[in-house]
Amino acid sequence: MVGRLLLKQTLEMQQKLAMSPQMLQALGLLQLPVMELSMALQTELQENPLLEMAEDHEEDHGTEQSQSEDQGLTPSGEWDAEAFYAGEAGIGERSFASSGHRTETQEGMPIENLAAPIYALRDDLRLQLYGSDLNEHELEIGTYLIDCLDEYGYLREECSCLTAQHVLEVLKTFEPAGVFASSLRECMQLQIERRGWTDTVAGRIIGQHFELLSGGRFSELAAALGVSRATVLDAVAQIRQLQPRPGAGGRDLEASVPYPDLTILERDGRWEVMVNESPYPRLKLSPYYYSLLQSNPEDPKLKVYLREKAERAQWILKAIGQRRATLLKIGQALLELQPAFFIAGPAALKVMTQADVAEIVEVHVSTISRAVAGKYVQTPFGLFSLRALFQSGVDTKTGGDRASGSVKRMLKEIIAVEDPKHPLNDEQLAAALKKAGLVIARRTVTKYRRELGMPAARLRIK
């Protein structure tokens, strides 16, 4: 009995390990913002003959076709988000093809509805900085380091003191991945780590053999890694998905317009959550090559090639569908947890953690973290980073929580109406907030006031 159990566990583990390349592929697609996903799918379309563009009138048929063709090609029949992304119990979402479902996407939405305010990378980095747990002195260092970024998002300054090094390590966790790197290699390494590719062939190339990659010495790479040249070329294609210039040039360092992955808007009195799929190609399995595979070609090499490409194509289609399903559920969870924000704007933002969303979506919190990284949502009040909607909070008198951003706005309003001849000190500001129902320590008031760029009481006397 014990032997059979151990054998079963061993077989299950082997199956999971055998699926790991596809899992990593799906995880990579989940993490990609919509415009990067578009480029990745264009590459897949060029390199995989089993994939082809689906025409608009083929979309609904393509969905049914993909589901029927899953049989006999995929390692597992049931589609499970967590099993696919992280090997954990998940939401049991059914398979989707990368087409159809117009009610869930932004297909055909007028471009004026997607208008976004100008987005400055440095401003976004400062927003992430002030949302971190760094103290006042560390925040000053962080602000200085943000100002030191070059036009490509690299930090060429050396940080000698331990405090600055600690702050820099925090800054390197910010979006976009790769920002604050000191070199191209470190930039790529940061993105590799963020995507969970460290132990893949691509990760080993960046971490151990970057010089060979830079020189285009692919045969030497294959020998050094003990893999085939084809495997190296696949890894190189994967590496090409990375962004060598996180700032994307001087203009984008100061201002660029990111593309929303989600749109949450009210239409005719009804709130709608839409996943933006318009930038990337609609894909389907190639009927010609799939029928060729089913005809059992005599050439064994051709048969193996077609089967490998067919399995990869199926995983791509599944990964796109699961990405859509996961983002859609996240958008619905945001609407459920932050209804006041979508009605009244940032001032109504409430405390919400990634764990709160993970509980509703029924996935691990790490899946939520990957899914929201680098992505944006279009709202009635403009474009917001998904990560910006996750807020820490302070206690209220009634035992609830209030988001720190909301507290800062309230603090700013109190200072705006104070007597200019007798401005309130931080202790008095804390008391005023307490009267408004917020229990907050004086030192926290001091921190928030400084983050707002407001001087101490003695410097506000007019």
Does one domain contain both 285 and 330? yes
Token pair of 232 as six digits: 């190296």
Buried b (16+ CB within 10 A) or exposed e, 343-361: eeebebbbbbebebbbeeb
- Could you tell me the CATH number of the domain that includes residue 436? 1.10.10.60
**pLDDT tops 50 at residue 276:** yes
**pLDDT score of 33:** 81
- What pLDDT digit, counting tens, does each position of 316-343 carry? 898 898 899 999 999 999 999 989 889 8
Please say which residue of 331, 357, 385 terminates a domain: 385
Token look-up 């390199």 returns 47
Does one domain contain both 30 and 60? yes
Q: How far apart are CA 105 and CA 270, in angstroms?
A: 16
Does one domain contain both 340 and 269? yes
51 three-class SS: strand
Does one domain contain both 136 and 213? yes
Does one domain contain both 151 and 224? yes
350 three-class SS: coil
- What pLDDT digit, counting tens, does each position of 149-207 carry? 887 888 887 777 777 888 999 899 888 889 999 998 999 999 998 888 888 999 999 99
pTM strictly above 0.95: no
410 three-class SS: helix
Does one domain contain both 272 and 378? yes
Please say which residue of 252, 274, 289 terminates a domain: 252
Domain residues for the domain of 409 are 393-459
pLDDT-wise least confident of 204-208, 283-287, 404-408: 404-408
- With beta carbons less than 8 A apart as the criterion, state whether 284 and 65 touch: yes
**pLDDT score of 110:** 32
Please say which residue of 361, 385, 409 terminates a domain: 385
Cβ-based neighbour number of residue 97 at 10 Å: 28
Segment holding 65, helix H or strand E: helix 59-69
Total tally of structural domains belonging to the chain:
3
Does one domain contain both 272 and 335? yes
Cβ-based neighbour number of residue 105 at 10 Å: 18
**Residues in the chain, how many?**
462
